[in-house]
Every structure is written in C-alpha cells, then in structure tokens.
Structure 1
Amino acid sequence: MEKETNIILRVSPSDKKIIQDKANEAGASVSEYARKMLLSGSIIKIEGDEKKILNGIANNLNQLTRHANSTGIIPVEVAATLRELIEKIRYAYRKR
C-alpha cells in the first residue's frame, strides 16, 4: 500500500537516538518502526490512587538506589525491599 500522508512528530535529540536504536534492533526503518508502534503499541494509563502508590514506590526505589550508590553495598534488607517493590510493580502491570 502506498503511503500518501505524513505525520510530523517533534522529539528531543536523545529521544530520536533512542528511537533510531530501537528501530535498528528491530531490523526496521524508523518510519516502519514508528508506524508499527503507533498502530499496535499500547500505553498504560495510571490515575488516582494507583498513581500515588506507584509514585511512592518510585520514591522508595530512588532512595534505595542512592543509598546503594553512596555506600557501594546493598544490605540484605535493601535487597528484600527491592524485590518487594519489583513484585508490586509487576502486579500493577498484570492488572491491565
């Protein structure tokens, strides 16, 4: 099928590089990749209480990451908390 129209999309230089890299990994041109993602990709919309919960989890992850980076070690309780947070995030996405 011949393509007859254009969609103009503005992105930052870093986003453009990421999109180009993903297209290359998929073995497609940027145009092909974008077309397939726009037509069959999905976006998970999170609102209300779920958004507050995920923001709290993200905040906890950031604090744990800062702690691990500043000390160079990951204590057992931090690793356990990370696993727990990852499971909560997985559960949130499974509900969709």
Structure 2
Amino acid sequence: IYEETRNRVIAGTGLTEEFRTGKGVRQGCPLSPILFNIFIQDLVESLEGKMEGGTPIGPGAGVKVDALMYADDAAIVAEEGAELGKMLKTLERWADRNNMEPSKRFLI
C-alpha cells in the first residue's frame, strides 16, 4: 500500500531526521488489520486442514483454539507434540511461500 514513504518520528523534544521506508503498511492505519486478515487467511486454512484437535476451551469444550493471531504475531496452540510438529511444518512452508522468516519461536 505504501511505497517509498518519507517519515519522521516525534521523540523527546522534537522530530527526528527524515528517513525512508521501502514498502509496507503503517502501524495504526485503519486498513492494516483488514490487509493482515486477507494475507493470513491461507495460513489459517492450512493450519485448520492439518489439525486433529487444537486446545479445547470453554464449558463442554465445544470450541477448540488452534491459532491466535494479532498484528504481526502468531501463536499456534496444540495439546500434543506430534500435532504441534505438524503445525510448525505447515507454518514453515507457508512462511517460505510468502518470503517470510519468522524472527522468534517459543515453545511453552
């Protein structure tokens, strides 16, 4: 959406020097969450296709959570290691197809 933008940041007592960004979306832009949802939808569908479970939540465990996503963060959720392994492989393939390199990984 934005390409070759010129930017300045309010810091301390004034504005920083101007700097340029190549391309992307701006944080706080009303369109950013919509674009994120469109972009991430194929990952969500890929994960759902690999799921054997997810983690049950709520009364009666009628709802299962397999992924939590917000802004540029994604957390995949599984009860068993084998299921988590499948999901991680799916995420890695998706990231490769979309020229992305996840910067952080944590297992809890």
Using structure 2 for the length normalisation, give the TM-score: 0.31
Using structure 1 for the length normalisation, give the TM-score: 0.33
Which structure has the greater CA radius of gyration? 1
